[in-house]
Chain A
Amino acid sequence: TQLLEQSPQFLSIQEGENLTVYCNSSSVFSSLQWYRQEPGEGPVLLVTVVTGGEVKKLKRLTFQFGDARKDSSLHITAAQPGDTGLYLCAGVPPYDYKLSFGAGTTVTVRA
């Protein structure tokens, strides 16, 4: 059983459209991270959010941490085929270092 629930599990959109991926939990996290993983490779860190209510922008990607630090979202504007991949959220419980991952959202952007 994974601590973090991601939705949707799969997302297929046309180039230029927007998408949002959600990461929810009943647990509080001291920080939450988003990773992107391509087939046959390890996850690559995109962003870390630490403060409740925090919003971070990385070019066309916007990350939000919930006020209660239990949930997060990733929004991609004007998606491109290069955004295709598995998006993973990972939370760090208070007083801990190790990451607990969600099951991931597979995003496919069609040209």
Chain B
Amino acid sequence: DTGVSQNPRHKITKRGQNVTFRCDPISEHNRLYWYRQTLGQGPEFLTYFQNEAQLEKSRLLSDRFSAERPKGSFSTLEIQRTEQGDSAMYLCALQTSQGGTEAFFGQGTRLTVV
């Protein structure tokens, strides 16, 4: 148990549909990250939150992607008008509040766009 719960675990959607993923930290961590991982690659940074503030977004994050962390606890990642290239594993990760850089990952959401 990494202290991070992600839902759903798997999502199959048709191209053009919108999808939303959720990340629920079980304990308090002020830094929350979203990463995307495609087959044969390591995770790539998408965005991160410090409490409820979204402090950085990658150039990978197109206008179709939006993330929120409304109360500084859970976070959502929405993809609008999905494309086949969006198919990937979407990972949520937490870092502790004490300045450490160790990241604790959720089990991820596997998105397949057909």
B residues in contact with A45, CB < 8 Å: 102-104
At the interface, yes or no: A44 with Cβ under 8 Å from chain B?
yes
Tell me the A residues contacting B by CB distance below 8 Å. 2, 4, 6, 30-31, 33, 35, 40-45, 48, 88, 90, 92, 97-104
At the interface, yes or no: B25 with Cβ under 8 Å from chain A?
no
Q: List 25 A-B contacts (CB under 8 A).
A: A2-B42, A4-B42, A6-B42, A31-B101, A33-B102, A40-B110, A41-B107, A41-B108, A42-B4, A42-B91, A42-B105, A42-B107, A43-B43, A43-B91, A43-B103, A45-B102, A90-B103, A97-B101, A98-B48, A101-B42, A101-B43, A101-B44, A103-B42, A104-B40, A104-B41
At the interface, yes or no: B31 with Cβ under 8 Å from chain A?
yes
Give chain B nearest CB distance to A63 CB in angstroms: 14
Tell me the B residues contacting A by CB distance below 8 Å. 2, 4, 6, 31, 33, 35, 40-45, 48, 56, 91, 93, 95, 101-108, 110
Residue of B nearest to A42 (CB): B105
- Distance of A102 Cα from B103 Cα, bound (Å): 15
- Distance of A103 Cα from B40 Cα, bound (Å): 7
- Distance of A35 Cα from B104 Cα, bound (Å): 10
Q: In the complex the two chains form, is A99's CB within 8 Å of B103's CB?
A: yes
- Distance of A33 Cα from B42 Cα, bound (Å): 13
Residue of A nearest to B43 (CB): A101
- Distance of A100 Cα from B91 Cα, bound (Å): 14
- Distance of A45 Cα from B102 Cα, bound (Å): 7
Give chain A nearest CB distance to B4 CB in angstroms: 8
Give chain A nearest CB distance to B58 CB in angstroms: 9
- Distance of A98 Cα from B60 Cα, bound (Å): 15
Residue of B nearest to A9 (CB): B40
- Distance of A6 Cα from B41 Cα, bound (Å): 11
- Distance of A35 Cα from B37 Cα, bound (Å): 14
Partner of A48, one of B102, B104, B105: B102
Q: In the complex the two chains form, is B42's CB within 8 Å of A104's CB?
A: yes
Q: In the complex the two chains form, is B31's CB within 8 Å of A97's CB?
A: yes
A residues in contact with B6, CB < 8 Å: 42
